[in-house]
Every structure is written in structure tokens, then in C-alpha cells.
Structure 1
Amino acid sequence: MSLKPAAKLINTNLSAHEIALDSAYQGIDDAAWTSLFGLAKKVKLEQFIADLFAGKPVNNSENRPALHSALRNLNKTSVLVNGQDVMPEVTEVWRRIEALCNKWVGVTDVIHIGIGGSDFGPRLAIEALAHVPDVDSRGMRIHFLANIDTADLNRILQRALPNSTRVIIVSKSFTTLETMMNAKAVVKWLKDHGRTDSQISHALYAVTANVRAAKSFGIDPNNVYPFWDWVGGRYSVWSAVGLPIALQFGFDTFKQFLAGAHAMDQHFKSAPLEENLPVIMALSLLYQQQKHHIKSYAVIPYADALDWFPKWLQQLDMESNGKSVDRDGKSVKFSCPVVFGSSGSNAQHSYFQLLHQGTEMIPIDFIAIREPMSHLPEAKEHHRILLSNCLAQAQALAHGKKTDNPNNTYPGKRPSNLLILPKLNAFYLGALLALYENRAATLGALWNINSFDQPGVELGKVLAKPIEAALKAGGNIQANEDIDAITANRINLINQFH
């Protein structure tokens, strides 16, 4: 395996909307690229991309389209689902979000209640954009409440001011256990602090596909923002799920976030495979699976603002493509590797020892930003050191170092990509997220996996119900058809301390 940037078939330095991708350290030669593009043609990748944007039922198990791209379709060109253009509904939600931004005053705290896809996207965006120099912000405290663990709930309720708090409940079904229990607890907190039913109703907002359930919960119908069954939760930040982004930073910033994603969609939709960033990244990962049987990969953004990006990506990739059977129910040879990562250069002082000298080859996506993220006097010097670390780590992983001392020998030949954003703002954050969404869809097409359902998450939810009942009942229990012997012993171990 050579990691010299010698490929001729593909330009290893590509760009889309000023986002640069350098794949020179992937070690893929002309013959391998020929084979990879041949595979892309064989699986009809270009047709899959066209079907994805055309609203075809690419989610074959649920017979649904996957039209998150429509949520950022700022051109408002028609997108048909079952013969109906969805863009008027999407546009109406944009109008309502903008109107709310213009009239929301006097709010000190926002408690955003949701889990999984209802949490990761807006949390990442709020965290990232808060780091942007000179960002226009209302300065509200945005509290993300996801975990059912009351420690998180308690911490938030100790800080929030009940008379000036608004609550956004995000659940596609409006039945998600953790979300609804946390929502009820927050409503009780508001009541305990003297808020009337009418005041609470107007303080609550819902983002859901189950509008009827949100109204039954007591939310003013004018405060219910819909999204649709053709939007997967992990792809939903572009919908009203991203409401906190607009409320904190303004609707124009939210629109720029959508614009960046839309721009990347247009690139993915129209660029030739050989120049298509999501496709090149997907084929590079597939190559490392085929050639080196990699089981994991890391994403390391050299920007503290993107520390939440790997956590968002874990759900996107592993919930989309973490499967052992394909669209036809047959076993697959490859599916999603384990995804991990954190911001550099912190990551270098954590697990880079394993990346350099461990027994497992782990490809890396390095993400760098050209401009520093502050106006401090030290910013340029610090940023130069940050970027030098990013480039040095990629070079060291690629080339390694041979010495007479095995302990000081680096095997090298560890592949990586480098993504460079010109700056980090709402536009480029949106483009980055859409790049990885489109890469996940491409990988699903290459593996013949449905990237838009997640049946594997359901079994544990079903099994949790009888276990919770046993914990509530207390005392010793015996194994039964719902609870095996080991779990029964564990329940008894917990119950003996209550």
C-alpha cells in the first residue's frame, strides 16, 4: 500500500463551495479507483442519487421517501410525494419560524426536550455557532434535555427561570418515553412555580408529526410545528427541529444553515462521480474495508466548536448503516464501521497512541478550518499551531518512522482524508453536515443497505417495559418469558438495596 499522492484517474484535491477534500493519503491507485467507480456504476449509484432527490421510496422497508433535502430546498422547486408537492408545507413552516423569531421577547431560558435525532443536530449547531466570532445571538440559555436521568433535569431546573422559560418538546411520534416523561416533569415544575394552565400552554412548543397528540398534551395549536414521516429523525435538524437555532441566532442565520446544506445537495446531485465529494469519501472508506478490513474510523475536527460533530455523526452513520442484512434480507459483507472522535488537538493526547502504533488500522477524517475562531490577540498564533498539528498528524500516520527500537517505530500507512472549511459559520456548518449525510446515503447504496430505517433500536425498548415493571414491584423475581435468568438476578441485585 502506497500513500504517495500519485493517483491520475482522480484528482486527490477536490472542492465544492470552497470546502476542499484532499484524499491523497488514502493510498488508492488508479487501478483501485477504476474498480471503485466500476462498482458505483454497477450498483447504479447515479440512479440512486436521482431517486433520492426525486422523492422515490428509497426507504423500501417502510415504503417512504427520504426527503430531508426538501427541508433545505431554498429554491422551492417542486418536490413530489405521492403526486403532491411538499414545498408549500415546508415553506409555511419557514414562515412560521421567522414570525416566531420576530415576536419572541423576554425569554431567558429555552428547554429543548428531545432525544436522538431530536437532540444531536440542534445541540451541535447551537454549540458550534456559539463559537463563531461576532455571531448575532439573543444570549438565551439553551438547555438540551435528552437523558431520562434526573441529574440532567435537576441541573437544568436549578438554572432556568420559570417565569421567562419556554419549552420545546420534540418527538416525531410524540410518544417517545424519555421525551414525554421529561416534558411532564418540566410542566410540573412550571406549575409548582405558580404558572397557570394558560401560561403553561403558551410557554410550550411542540415539533412533531403527531399534531393531535401535541394538542392533547395541552399545547396551544399555534405552537405546534409539524414535520413529516418522510423525514428521518437523524436527518431532521433542517426542519422545525432546528427551531432553537433560529430563535437564538436569528432566522437569517438559520436560512444560511439551510443554504449551505442545499448547496452541498446540489453538488452531490450534479457533480460527476469522479468529482463528487460525498461519493469520493464513501468510496475511500469502502476501499479501506475491502483492502484492509477496517472495523472503525475516526473523525477529528481541529476546532473546539465542532466537538459535538463526532457524536452527531455516530448516530447518522451507525443508526443509518449499522446493519447485517441488505435491502433484500441477505447477509452483507460490509456495513458501517464503528465511528468515534473528538476535537483536535485534545484527541492527540487521548487515543492517538493507538492510531499510530496500535494493531488495528483506523482511517481518519481530519477536519480543519482556515480562519481562527476568535479575535483574541493570540488567535493567529494559536490557530497556526492547531493547523500544524492537524497536518503533522496526517503526515506521521501516513509515513510512519522506522528505528532500531521497536518501541519507537511507527508502522505508517494509516489512511486519512483532510477536509478544509474556509471558515466556520452557519453556511459551512450546514454544508459539512449535508456532506456527511450524503456520504452515508452513498455508503448505503454501495452496501445495498437501507440507510433510512432503524429497526434494531426497537427490541431493547420492548424488553425494558417488563423489566421496569419488575423494578417497580420490588422484591425477588424469577426468570420468565420476558426476563431471562441473568437479568432476573440483576433486577434482584438492584431491588435488594431499595
Structure 2
Amino acid sequence: MSLKPADKNPQHLHQSNGIVLDSAYQGIDEAGWLSLFQQAKNAHLKQFIADLFGGKHINNSENRPALHSALRNLDKSPVIVDGKDVMPDVAEVWHRIEALCNKWVGVTDVIHIGIGGSDFGPRLAIEALAHIPDIESRGMRMHFLANIDTAELARIQQRALPHSTRVIIVSKSFTTLETTKNAKAIVRWLKDSGRTESQINNTLFAVTANVPAAKEFGVKEENIFPFWDWVGGRYSVWSAVGLPIALQYGFDTFKEFLSGAQAIDQHYQSAPLEENLPVIMALTLLYQQQKHHIKSFAVIPYADALDWFPKWLQQLDMESNGKSVDRDGKPVKYSCPVVFGSSGSNAQHSYFQLLHQGTEVIPIDFIAIREPMSHLPEAKEHHRILLSNCLAQAQALANGKKTDNPNNTYPGKRPSNLLILPKLNAFYLGALLALYESRTTTLGALWNINSFDQPGVELGKVLAKPIEAALKEGNPVQANGNIDAITAARINLFNH
């Protein structure tokens, strides 16, 4: 990658909106970068980005757009989908969210019921923003109910106060098994706590694309926030799915969250490929696939506030790009690696042994924040130690160490990026999530994979129905068209 003579920045250093990306430890030389950018051009990446933001039916398998960017289009510039500008509908939802923020009084607990994309985004945001010093908060207890395991349900019922609780049911289809079962259980708990049917109806809110199903469940129409088919679940935190963010921290904070994401959208659309942060992040991973045939990727945020970030990214990456065929149904050479991670420096005491000396090369994104996340007297010193560990681990992984003792030898040449945020607030949290969203969709374009469907999650759901029926009946089971011999034997283990 060539630089203009007047450009004083090293070729591995890139910035946007105060965010710095340093790819120096990727080991990519100028010829390597030239090859990567040529691959991006061969994949018609600029046209892909234009189609993505332009409302084209880029989700070809489901014949619909992927327009999560419209949800943070605060300028309200027209976004045309099939001849219609969707921004008036989006803006109406913003207005309703703001009105609800001003309306809720005396609420102690909010139970947010949803799973997958209806859970990870708002859960991450609520957790991350709670760590920001001096953030204005209404102090409500936010409970996230996702798992069908009743342990989570029981814990929430023990902690929440039913007479001052509000319930948000989030499901695009309003048919998701875990969500509907948990919602019915919460309604039963409210009834058992002495709430009348009228009071319960005023307690329930829904975020869905299936308004009739939400009304049939008992949610009042004025408490239903719409969701559109051009919003994928894992890209949906910017919609009313992110309602808990606004309710807890105020609508202005929610707008700041959207604003950070919009800033990255604008950068992604306008920056040349050679200066485009999401594109460069995607190309570094593609390079390591081509060079080292990597199968795993780690993201390590050196901020306890972002401990949920790797879990959010796991769904975003692996549900989007975990495919074995491309858009044309042909086998792919590369697709999404396994994604894992947790907050540093805890991660160092968990699996960094494998990262340093394991047989597999695993690229890493280190995420660091310039400012401490508290006002404690120890904050600056602790933060300095935190950052020194982040930088030291990247250096050790890249350079390694040779000794006469094989047990103390570090092979090095383990690639990593360093992403630096000026601070962690709603703006930069939104920017961070949007940055990785665009990185994910860029990788999909480079691999010619549709990043906006997830057919692989359906088979297990279908097979679970006859298995659940067999477990309910409790009778001995034989293999049949729906249940194989091994699963039949396992059902019998549970039934007897």
C-alpha cells in the first residue's frame, strides 16, 4: 500500500472519528497490501457497500435489503426500499421511544425477554454503559431473560418487584419458542403476584414485525414498537430492540449511541478502500486465512465494560458468515473462523498459553481505551498497568523468544490488530459495534457469502419438536424418521 509523500502516518496506522487502528503486527508488507486491495476491487467491494446502503436486495436468499444503517440515519436523509422512503417510519419509532422515556415513572424493574439478536446487543450496551463514570441513569434493574432454562427465570422472579415491573418482549416473528415460553411464564408470575389483567396489559411492551401476534398475546397496540423485515436480528440493537438503552440512560444517550454508529457508516461509505477501517480489518483476517489457514480468531477488549463484546461478536460473525456455500450455492474456500474472547487482563490467565505456544496461529484484535473507566484514586495507575499488559502481549505474540529450553521458547509471528478508542461512552460504543458490523459484511463480500441469512439454525429447531414430544410422553422410544437410534437411546436415558 503506497502513501503520498506528504502523509506522515505509517502505512499500518489508520484513523476515523478518533478511533485508531494499528495493523503493524499483521506482518503484511507493501506487496501483500497491494494484493489484498486488488482482491477487494475484484470482489467489487465499493459497489457492494453502495448497494448495502442503497436499499438493494442484497440478502439474495430472502430477497430483501439489509438496511440496519437506516436505523441510525439521524440526518433522516431518504433511504428508498422498493420505491418507498423508510425514514419517516424509523423517525416515528424514535419519537415513540423518546415519549416512552418521558412517560415511565416509578418503574423499578425491566424484564427484557428475547434471545439471540434480540438479546446480545441491548445486554452488551446496558452492561457497557453501566461502567461509564457519572453516566445519568434511572437506576432501574434491567433483567435479560433469554435462556429457556428456568434458572434464569427463577433468579429474575426472586429479584424483581412485580407491582413496579415492566416487560419488553422482543421477537421479530413473535413465534420464537424460548421467547414466547418465557413471556408466558412472566405473565403467569404477574398474575400470581396479584396483578389484574388490565394492569398486566399495561405492563407488557413488544418489539416485533408481527403486530397481530403481539396483540393476540395481550400487548396493547400502543405498546407495540415495529420492526421491519429488512433488519436482521443480530443487526437490530439500533432499532426499538435497543429500547432498554434509552429507558435506562435517556433518549439523548441512545441518540449518541446511534450517532457513533452513523459516523462509522459515513466513513465506511466514503473512505477509500486503502483508508477504510472495516475494510482493512477484514483484509487482515483474509490475509491470515490465506497465509496460515487460520481456523480461529480472538477479540480481547482490555476493558471490563466490554466483557460481553466477544459474545455479541460471536453471533454477529458466526451466524452471518458461518457458511460452506457462497451466494451462488458453490462451495467456498474460506468462511468465518471460530470467534472467541473475553476481557483482558483476565484472558491472559485463561487461554493465552495456547495463543503464545499452541500449534495453531490465532489472529487477535486487541481493543484498548485511552481513558480509565473510573474516578477511583487508583484508576490511573491501574489503567497504566492494564494498557502495558495489552501492549506487552501483542509484542510477545509477534516477536516471540528463542531459548535453549523448548519449554520456554515462544515461536512468535502471531498476528494482531490494535484498536484504540479515545474513551468508552455511548458514541464510541455505537461506533465500535458498527465498525465490526461493517467488518463482518465486508468479509461476507470478500468470500461471496450472504451475511444476512442463517439457514443453518433451523434444522435443530425442527428436530427438537418430535424429541420434546417424546420426552413429554415418557414412553420408550424407537428410532424413526425423525429420531435416529442414538438420539432415541438418549431420550430413553432421560425418560427412565
Q: Which residue of 1 aligns with 2:5?
A: none
Task: Name the CA distance, whole Å, in 1 between partners of 2:151 and 2:74.
Answer: 40
Q: Which residue of 1 aligns with 2:365?
A: 365
1:430-449 to 2 correspondences below 5 Å: 430-449=430-449
Q: Which residue of 2 aligns with 1:257?
A: 257
Task: Name the CA distance, whole Å, in 2 between partners of 1:244 and 1:106.
Answer: 16
Identity %: 83
Task: Name the CA distance, whole Å, in 2 between partners of 1:26 and 1:445.
Answer: 21
1:351 aligns with 2:351: yes
Q: Which residue of 2 aligns with 1:485?
A: 485
The one-letter amino acid paired with 1:441 is T
Gap runs ≥5 in structure 2? 1-7
Q: Which residue of 2 aligns with 1:464?
A: 464
Task: Name the CA distance, whole Å, in 1 between partners of 2:41 and 2:371.
Answer: 38
Residue 11 of structure 1 and its aligned partner are, at CA, apart by 1.7
1:180-329 to 2 correspondences below 5 Å: 180-329=180-329
1:375-454 to 2 correspondences below 5 Å: 375-454=375-454
The one-letter amino acid paired with 2:432 is L
Task: Name the CA distance, whole Å, in 2 between partners of 1:255 and 1:468.
Answer: 43
Q: Which residue of 2 aligns with 1:3?
A: none
Q: Which residue of 2 aligns with 1:475?
A: 475
Q: Which residue of 1 aligns with 2:332?
A: 332
Q: Which residue of 1 aligns with 2:164?
A: 164
Task: Name the CA distance, whole Å, in 1 between partners of 2:378 and 2:287.
Answer: 41
Residue 477 of structure 1 and its aligned partner are, at CA, apart by 0.7
**What's the secondary structure of 1:314's corresponding residue?**
helix
When the two chains are superposed, the root-mean-square deviation of aligned CA atoms in Å is 1.0
**What's the secondary structure of 1:166's corresponding residue?**
strand
Task: Name the CA distance, whole Å, in 1 between partners of 2:71 and 2:416.
Answer: 32
Q: Which residue of 2 aligns with 1:63?
A: 63
Q: Which residue of 1 aligns with 2:22?
A: 22
Task: Name the CA distance, whole Å, in 1 between partners of 2:227 and 2:26.
Answer: 39
* Alpha-carbon displacement from aligned partner over 1:78-129 (angstroms, at most 9, x marks no partner): 0011000000000000000000000101000000000000000000000000
Report if the CA contact (8 A) 1:10-1:274 is conserved. Answer: no
Q: Which residue of 1 aligns with 2:138?
A: 138
Q: Which residue of 2 aligns with 1:149?
A: 149
Residue 10 of structure 1 and its aligned partner are, at CA, apart by 7.4
Task: Name the CA distance, whole Å, in 2 between partners of 1:224 and 1:484.
Answer: 42
Residue 237 of structure 1 and its aligned partner are, at CA, apart by 0.1
Residue 9 of structure 1 and its aligned partner are, at CA, apart by 11
Q: Which residue of 2 aligns with 1:4?
A: none
Task: Name the CA distance, whole Å, in 2 between partners of 1:281 and 1:97.
Answer: 34
* Alpha-carbon displacement from aligned partner over 1:286-345 (angstroms, at most 9, x marks no partner): 000001100001000000000000000000000000000000000000000000000000
**What's the secondary structure of 2:142's corresponding residue?**
strand
Task: Name the CA distance, whole Å, in 2 between partners of 1:477 and 1:217.
Answer: 35
The one-letter amino acid paired with 2:89 is E
Task: Name the CA distance, whole Å, in 2 between partners of 1:155 and 1:193.
Answer: 16
- TM-score with structure 1 length normalisation? 0.98
Residue 396 of structure 1 and its aligned partner are, at CA, apart by 0.3
1:34 aligns with 2:34: yes
**What's the secondary structure of 1:94's corresponding residue?**
helix
Q: Which residue of 2 aligns with 1:53?
A: 53
* Alpha-carbon displacement from aligned partner over 1:265-294 (angstroms, at most 9, x marks no partner): 000010000000000000000000001100
The one-letter amino acid paired with 1:296 is S
* Alpha-carbon displacement from aligned partner over 1:385-412 (angstroms, at most 9, x marks no partner): 0000000000000000000000000000
Moved over 6 A (4+): none
The one-letter amino acid paired with 2:236 is S
The one-letter amino acid paired with 2:160 is A
The one-letter amino acid paired with 1:246 is A
Q: Which residue of 2 aligns with 1:75?
A: 75
Task: Name the CA distance, whole Å, in 1 between partners of 2:176 and 2:169.
Answer: 11
The one-letter amino acid paired with 1:98 is E
Task: Name the CA distance, whole Å, in 2 between partners of 1:255 and 1:9.
Answer: 32
Report if the CA contact (8 A) 1:367-1:420 is conserved. Answer: yes
The one-letter amino acid paired with 1:233 is G
Task: Name the CA distance, whole Å, in 1 between partners of 2:45 and 2:287.
Answer: 16
Task: Name the CA distance, whole Å, in 1 between partners of 2:287 and 2:46.
Answer: 19
The one-letter amino acid paired with 1:466 is P
Q: Which residue of 1 aligns with 2:4?
A: none
Task: Name the CA distance, whole Å, in 1 between partners of 2:268 and 2:373.
Answer: 28
Residue 249 of structure 1 and its aligned partner are, at CA, apart by 0.2
**What's the secondary structure of 1:375's corresponding residue?**
coil
Report if the CA contact (8 A) 1:9-1:33 is conserved. Answer: no
Stretch of structure 1 that moved more, 172-181 or 9-18: 9-18
Task: Name the CA distance, whole Å, in 2 between partners of 1:192 and 1:143.
Answer: 19
Gap runs ≥5 in structure 1? 1-7
**What's the secondary structure of 2:15's corresponding residue?**
strand
Task: Name the CA distance, whole Å, in 2 between partners of 1:148 and 1:430.
Answer: 29
Residue 19 of structure 1 and its aligned partner are, at CA, apart by 0.4
- TM-score with structure 2 length normalisation? 0.98
Task: Name the CA distance, whole Å, in 2 between partners of 1:30 and 1:121.
Answer: 37
Task: Name the CA distance, whole Å, in 2 between partners of 1:213 and 1:376.
Answer: 49
Residue 475 of structure 1 and its aligned partner are, at CA, apart by 2.2
Task: Name the CA distance, whole Å, in 2 between partners of 1:218 and 1:354.
Answer: 51
1:85 aligns with 2:96: no
* Alpha-carbon displacement from aligned partner over 1:458-488 (angstroms, at most 9, x marks no partner): 0000000000000000021100000000000
**What's the secondary structure of 1:55's corresponding residue?**
coil
**What's the secondary structure of 2:132's corresponding residue?**
coil
Task: Name the CA distance, whole Å, in 2 between partners of 1:382 and 1:445.
Answer: 41
Task: Name the CA distance, whole Å, in 1 between partners of 2:262 and 2:104.
Answer: 27
Q: Which residue of 2 aligns with 1:5?
A: none
The one-letter amino acid paired with 1:318 is M
Shift in alpha-carbon separation, 1:428–1:9, aligned structure 2, 3 A? closer
**What's the secondary structure of 2:419's corresponding residue?**
strand
The one-letter amino acid paired with 2:24 is A
Q: Would you say how many aligned residue pairs link Structure 1 and Structure 2?
A: 490
**What's the secondary structure of 2:440's corresponding residue?**
helix
The one-letter amino acid paired with 2:84 is Q
Report if the CA contact (8 A) 1:9-1:30 is conserved. Answer: no
Shift in alpha-carbon separation, 1:25–1:339, aligned structure 2, 3 A? same
Task: Name the CA distance, whole Å, in 1 between partners of 2:74 and 2:112.
Answer: 26
Residue 46 of structure 1 and its aligned partner are, at CA, apart by 0.3
The one-letter amino acid paired with 2:484 is D
Task: Name the CA distance, whole Å, in 2 between partners of 1:45 and 1:201.
Answer: 48
Task: Name the CA distance, whole Å, in 1 between partners of 2:43 and 2:260.
Answer: 28
